[in-house]
Amino acid sequence: PADSRLIDDRRLEIGGVDALALAREFGTPAYVVAEDDLRSRARQYLSAFRTHAPDAEIHFASKANPCTAVLRVFAEEGLGVDVASGGELHVALKAGFEPAKIILHGNAKSEAELRTAIDAGVGYIVIDNFADLERVIALAGDRVQPVLLRVTPDVRGETHDKISTGQADSKFGLSLRDASAAIERAAAAPNLRLDGLHLHIGSQLLELGPWRDAVEAIAPLGDFPVVNLGGGLGVAYTDAEDPPSIEVYAAAKVAAARELLGDHVRIIDEPGRSLVANAGVTLYTVESVKRNVSTWVGVDGGMSDNLRPMLYGARYEAEIADRFGGTTPSRITGKHCESGDVIVAEAQLDEPKPGDVVVTPATGAYGYAMSNNYNGIPRPPVVFVKDGDARVVVRRETFEDLTSRDID
Ligand code: LLP
């Protein structure tokens, strides 16, 4: 995180708290989140967009880190929120978001989810397909529900196939061909207020061009007061990625919307990853070190707290929390019963040994979000750090939690 530093060039301090002290006090594995980092990135987003478009709104895509405390921080900073399910809607409301600042998404929303969202008075429901459209019309009754239509622009951003969504054969959104009919239907429904279109072409995108292409693709569909540009900005997990800054990204998106859709259009963007990834680190304890062809450093977490290496071949860096800058090629592996459970395949550690605390930076996005209990591993706590203080905002799961839904 920006809010971290190395003491004596070797020893990590986050939010003014020593990483080893955090591991000792809260145990490992643990997700550590620098609260000021969340706040400064939220402010950076708002000011980057509003410099060019004063009425722009930023909605946090809560799927990236659906932790109530994280959402509460963003609500306090004046962001809205994007939810992808009834569960995320529940968390967003609990975190204190005004319903009008919530946007509901989903390619397979249930009737119950739609009903809850309409009853809560969410700001927008993003219609994904014709079935969704008919359901919202039927459920809105005599209320007027504001909606956006999600369009698939047939544009491919360069990213992992599993998180690319803009291509014609995508499960998300209406095709360019179907969009006009959906627009007509929505505009004719007295209980919908169609404010505009929505785009999301993919996640962890590092190039700006595809967003412009996507806006260009939807421009002929009509003149609307609002456009939602769908987030998607990538982050640097290692030295290999060089994403544009939030300022450059915002300037490019606003310019594309202004030039291609007009000056009057109100811009919404919904970043997830880039608001939270760099605010979080994960702490592990080394349980075993074994040398065969590689040096295997076995830690007390793994694919249950960070599924991304396993799902997407995602790469991270790692260090020993109080001995940064090592040179022993090390393969950091989790404790799960699968060979693919490798968190960092090519780390360089300083002579790792059992008991060392290992830290993986840039794990604030889609780690906690996709955590699971594979192999009976309780999920880690989330610890907020700020100005030298640490507080648990989500407690560690217990073994009891693992059996708490059993019915005897
Ligand atoms: N809006 C919509 C409708 C989305 O589906 C997403 C991400 C976003 C916004 C935010 O995208 P972001 O700014 O975070 O790129 N689990 C995957 C990422 C899946 C992203 C899904 N949608 C991963 O760990 O890489």
Between CA 88 and CA 66 the distance in angstroms is 7
Task: Determine the Cα angle at 270 with ends 264 and 273, to 5°.
Answer: 150
- Mean pLDDT confidence for 129-151: 98
Nearest CA-CA partner of 16 in 402, 391, 396: 391
Residue 16, pLDDT score: 97
Which residue has its alpha carbon closest to ligand 1 atom 7? 203
**Residue 167 — pLDDT band, cuts 50, 70, 90?**
confident
**Residue 160 — pLDDT band, cuts 50, 70, 90?**
confident
Instruction: Spell out a b/e string for 42-52, using b for 16 or more CB atoms within 10 Å of the CB, else e.
Output: bebbbebbbeb
Task: Dump the DSSP string for 282-342.
Answer: EEEEEEEEEESSSEEEEES--TTT--HHHHH------EETTB-S--EEEEEE-SSSSTT-E
Considering the chain, tell me which residue range(s) the CATH 3.20.20.10 domain(s) occupy: 66-271
The response to whether residue 230 sits with its C-beta less than 6 Å from ligand 1 reads yes
**162 pLDDT more than 90:** no
Residue 72, pLDDT score: 98
Residue 158, pLDDT score: 83
Residue range 186-216, pLDDT digits in tens: 999 999 999 999 999 999 999 999 999 999 9
- The two three-digit tokens of residue 47, written as one number: 């000011």
Nearest CA-CA partner of 250 in 21, 20, 54: 54
- Mean pLDDT confidence for 345-349: 98
Residue range 85-119, pLDDT digits in tens: 999 999 999 999 999 999 999 999 999 999 999 99
Residue range 362-378, pLDDT digits in tens: 999 999 999 999 999 99
Task: Determine the Cα angle at 216 with ends 210 and 217, to 5°.
Answer: 90
The response to whether residue 366 sits with its C-beta less than 6 Å from ligand 1 reads yes
Coil/strand/helix, residue 405 = coil
- Mean pLDDT confidence for 334-343: 97
Q: What is the pTM of this model?
A: 0.97
User: Look-up: residue for tokens 């219609």?
Assistant: 127
Instruction: Looking at the CA of residue 274, tell me the nearest atom of ligand 1.
Output: 13
In the annotation, is 337 catalytic?
yes
Residue 156, pLDDT score: 86
CA-based R_g, the chain, Å: 22
The annotated binding site is made up of: 232, 270-273, 308, 312, 338, 366
CATH topology of domain 4-34+277-403: Lyase, Ornithine Decarboxylase; Chain A, domain 1 (2.40.37)
- Mean pLDDT confidence for 235-245: 96
The response to whether residue 135 sits with its C-beta less than 6 Å from ligand 1 reads no
Nearest CA-CA partner of 344 in 355, 329, 357: 329
Specify burial of residue 272 (Cβ count, 10 A radius: 0-12, 13-18, 19+): buried
**Residue 166 — pLDDT band, cuts 50, 70, 90?**
confident
The response to whether residue 316 sits with its C-beta less than 6 Å from ligand 1 reads no
CATH topology of domain 66-271: TIM Barrel (3.20.20)
**279 pLDDT more than 90:** yes
Considering the chain, tell me which residue range(s) the CATH 2.40.37.10 domain(s) occupy: 4-34+277-403
- Mean pLDDT confidence for 271-299: 98
Q: What is the mean pLDDT of the chain?
A: 97
**164 pLDDT more than 90:** no
The annotated binding site for pyridoxal 5'-phosphate is made up of: 232, 270-273, 366
**ipTM value of the model?**
0.99
Residue 168, pLDDT score: 86
Residue range 18-66, pLDDT digits in tens: 999 999 999 999 999 999 999 999 999 999 999 999 999 999 999 999 9
Residue range 1-24, pLDDT digits in tens: 889 999 999 999 999 999 999 999
- Mean pLDDT confidence for 82-87: 98
Between CA 107 and CA 132 the distance in angstroms is 8
